[in-house]
Copies of this chain bind each other. A is one copy, B any other.
Amino acid sequence: MTSRTSAATSRAPGTGDHPAERAPLSHERVLRCALALADAQGIGALTMRSLAQELGVKPMSLYHHVANKEAILDGIVDLVFAEIELPSPGGDWRTEIRRRAGSAREVLHRHPWAVALMESRSSPGPASLRHHDTMLGTLRAAGFSVEMTGHAYALLDAFVYGHAIQEAGLPFTGTDDAAEITSAIAAQFAGGDYPHMVEFATERVLKPGYDFGDEFEFGLGVVLDALERLLPDGGA
């Protein structure tokens, strides 16, 4: 798509700082850089000024390629949607829906700021629309009625988004520092007002092998089983 990128880089004089790249701006380059910045520094660090600096340009130049910051936020949310694997309406619906759910979880884990942002976006981009249409198509092809497709999709994505928001809110990532943080919390509340939290911390979270991520597989299984029962031949 952006075939001029590498050629244009050569005329950057190497201005010292880390914006080594100096390709000409474009809508896509602005959005790609905004996405990378949000991932690296957090969504709060994504400002028109920091983005411009990262691109080796002055803030006002951005406005020639995007309408405003809102458009940038809409754009990177759509880039996130584009990373989620689409289900294939031809395949086994359970396999396809499971694969897509797992992919959505991975993507939202890579971009933890995205799930909170989705709530406030009201103009979905092309990747979001394609995604929703393919999901609806896959469920319809699986044999769900229009009404049941609505139930199924709402339940599935409530679970996927809800799990993502819980994971994003955890004070730790991975199993290592989980133990450290959890035992600190448990010690703080020991013998106090929150006996069930202490029990859960010591007898579950601190036991070897605990991983909140496992709740995803568990919950997804529950949801898929329930969906299967909604099919016309669900009992069989």
Contact = CB atoms under 8 A, between A and B. Distances in A.
A140 to B, nearest CB: 6
Contact of A133 (B146, B168, B197, B225): B197
A136 B222 contact: no
Interface stretch (A45-53, A92-100, A147-155): A147-155
Interface string A182-203: 0000000100011111011001
Interface residues of A, number: 54
A149 B168 CA distance: 21
A155 B219 contact: yes
A119 B168 contact: yes
Given A146-B204, A165-B161, A133 B215 contact: no
Nearest to A138: B196
A169 B118 contact: yes
Contacts of A160: 162
A158 interface: yes
Interface in A130-147: 130, 132-134, 136-137, 140, 146-147
28 contacts: A116-B119, A116-B120, A118-B169, A119-B165, A130-B193, A132-B194, A133-B193, A136-B200, A140-B199, A146-B199, A147-B204, A149-B200, A150-B200, A151-B215, A154-B212, A154-B215, A154-B218, A154-B219, A155-B219, A155-B222, A158-B159, A158-B165, A158-B219, A159-B159, A161-B165, A161-B166, A222-B222, A222-B226
- Counted per complex, copies of this chain come to 2
Given A136-B199, A146-B204, 20 more contacts: A115-B119, A118-B165, A118-B169, A120-B169, A121-B169, A122-B171, A129-B193, A130-B194, A134-B196, A137-B196, A149-B200, A151-B219, A154-B212, A154-B218, A155-B159, A155-B222, A158-B166, A160-B162, A222-B223, A226-B226
A157 interface: yes
